[in-house]
Amino acid sequence: MPENSPRDASDLVELFTTMVRIRSVENEIARLRSAGDVVGSVHLCSGQEAIYAGACAALNLPRDVVFPTYRGHGWTLACGVPPYAVLAELLGRRTGLNGGRGGSAYLTAPRWGMYGENSIVGAGAPIAAGAALAATFDGSGRVALAAFGDGALNQGAVHEAMNFAAVRALPVIFLVENNHWSELTPITSTVRDEKLFRRASAYGMPGARIDGNDPQGVQRAVARAADRARDGSGPVLIEAMTDRIVGHYIGDVQHYRAPGEMETILAAEPIGRLRRVLEAQDTTAAELDSIEQSIHHEVAEAAAHALADPLADPATVLEHVHA
What one-letter code names the amino acid at 162? Answer: M
Give the phi and the psi of residue 144 in degrees, each rounded to 5.
-105, 140
Query: What predicted TM-score, i.e. pTM, was given to this entire model?
Result: 0.95
In words, the CATH class of domain 9-310 is alpha beta
pLDDT tens string 152-193: 999 999 999 999 999 999 999 999 999 998 888 888 898 999
Q: Average pLDDT of 87-115?
A: 95
Q: Domain coordinates of the chain in residue numbers?
A: 9-310
Cα 76 to its chain centre, rounded Å, is: 7
Distance CA 183, CA 187 (A): 9
pLDDT score for 7: 63
Distance CA 149, CA 270 (A): 18
pLDDT over 90, % of the chain:
86
Q: How many CB atoms lie within 10 A of CB 137?
A: 7
Which one, of 211, 206, 147, 203, lies nearest residue 177 by Cα? 147
Q: How many CA atoms lie within 13 A of 32 on its CB side?
A: 28
pLDDT score for 1: 63
Q: How many CA atoms lie within 13 A of 287 on its CB side?
A: 14
Which one, of 180, 174, 117, 126, lies nearest residue 151 by Cα? 180
Q: What does the mean pLDDT of the chain come to?
A: 95
Which one, of 219, 217, 177, lies nearest residue 60 by Cα? 219
* pLDDT above 90 (res 3): no
Give the β-pairing of 207-211 and 181-182.
Answer: unpaired
Q: How many CB atoms lie within 10 A of CB 317?
A: 10
Q: In Å, how far are 27, 34, 90, 95, 121 from 100, measured between CA atoms?
A: 20, 19, 7, 7, 23
Helix locations, the chain, DSSP H:
9-35, 49-58, 73-78, 83-90, 124-138, 156-168, 200-203, 215-230, 261-268, 270-280, 285-308
Q: Average pLDDT of 87-111?
A: 95
* pLDDT above 90 (res 89): yes
Predicted confidence band at 204 (pLDDT cuts at 50, 70, 90)? very high
pLDDT score for 307: 98
pLDDT score for 205: 97
